Structure formats: structure tokens, C-alpha cells
């Protein structure tokens, strides 16, 4: 699963999830993206630039 992540500085990076998190049953795309974004920020507490926006690329 690939996604575009925007950092605080405005830099956009294409990231690839090796093991993407499971989607909850009645979760919308926006809720899923915000949940993953908060998990990324919580896993990197000392990061210089926090992730601000995440867009999952669907094929």
C-alpha cells in the first residue's frame, strides 16, 4: 500500500507500508487516513517534522 505523506515543512514523500493496518468495518477513507496519520506521529515522538496530511493511493 502506497501513500503520499505531507510534512510540516511542506515536503511531500511517497511512502510504502510493508504491513498496512487493518481497516475497521464501517470506517470511511478520511477516518482511516487520519487514524494512520496519528499512529505515525505517535510512533515518532522526537521527529523534527511531524506528518500533517496523508493520502492513501488506491489502485
CA distances from 48 to 4, 7, 8, 39 (A): 18, 10, 9, 16
Number of domains in the chain: 1
Give the pTM: 0.80
Handedness of CA 28, 11, 59, 18 (dihedral sign): negative
Residues 11, 51: Cα–Cα separation, whole Å? 10
Q: Report the Cα–Cα distance between both ends of the chain, in Å, rounded.
A: 9
What is the structure's pLDDT at 12?
A: 97
Domain hosting residue 45, numbered range: 2-57
The stretches in the chain having pLDDT less than 50 are none
Q: DSSP alpha helices (H): ranges in 1-59?
A: 29-43
Amino acid at each position: 500500500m502506497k501513500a503520499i505523506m505531507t510534512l510540516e515543512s511542506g515536503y511531500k514523500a511517497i511512502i510504502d507500508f510493508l504491513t498496512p493496518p487493518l481497516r475497521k468495518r464501517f470506517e470511511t477513507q478520511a477516518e482511516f487516513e487520519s487514524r494512520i496519520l496519528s499512529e505515525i506521529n505517535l510512533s515518532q515522538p522526537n521527529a523534527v517534522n511531524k506528518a500533517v496530511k496523508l493520502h492513501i493511493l488506491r489502485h
